[in-house]
Amino acid sequence: MQRAYSFKALLILGVIVLAALLVAASADRALAATASDTAEVGISIGILEVLISHGDINFGTATGTGYTSVQSGDATVKRNTNWKVTIQADSAAWTGSNGGRADKPCSHLEYNRSWSPGWIQLSTSPTELASGTPGEYTGTMSYRVLIVWADTPGDYQIDVTSTLTGN
């Protein structure tokens, strides 16, 4: 009886050991049959903006006092944050040449926005032209020049700056 029992004990022990080995081996194989891994896929977006202003505006030759003909040009704003655009004259007076006076005020240049009625005199202080939420926008700017008797014959030119910033 003692001997028979020992054989059974050894048999059971052997099966247990084999079962343990079986579980260990199968665990490795099962993991290998389906394997996963991960990767980060991303994109970094900073503050992006574009201001496309119209080019130079030429009013031609004025033929009398009062306002010149209206000249227009498109401007485009793209920005991925809230934004605003300001406009200002770079100098208080026009630059006169070929006889043109040197003190024609910048306010003689007036602008009009397609998205907001009314004519506004230009100044050297930044004035808000437009503002908005993130996006892409295009509008038309129109200009005219006030001609007065004080404007001596000649050529007149003034630089205007538009600035796009966050708002």
CB 85, min distance to another protein, A: 15
Could you say which residues in the range 75-104 bind another protein, by CB under 8 A? 78-81
CB 48, min distance to another protein, A: 5
Structure tokens at 135: 């996006």
Could you say which residues in the range 28-47 bind another protein, by CB under 8 A? 29-30, 32-47
Structure tokens at 5: 């029992």
- Within 10 A of 106 (CB to CB), how many other CB atoms are there? 19
Binding mask 130-159 for another protein (x = CB under 8 A): ---xxxx-----------------------
SS3 state at 112: strand
53 phi-psi bin (left φ>0, alpha ψ -120 to 50, beta other): beta
Structure-token match 């099966």, residue found? 15
Residues that bind another protein (CB under 8 A): 3, 5-7, 9-11, 14-15, 17-19, 21-22, 25-26, 29-30, 32-50, 78-81, 133-136
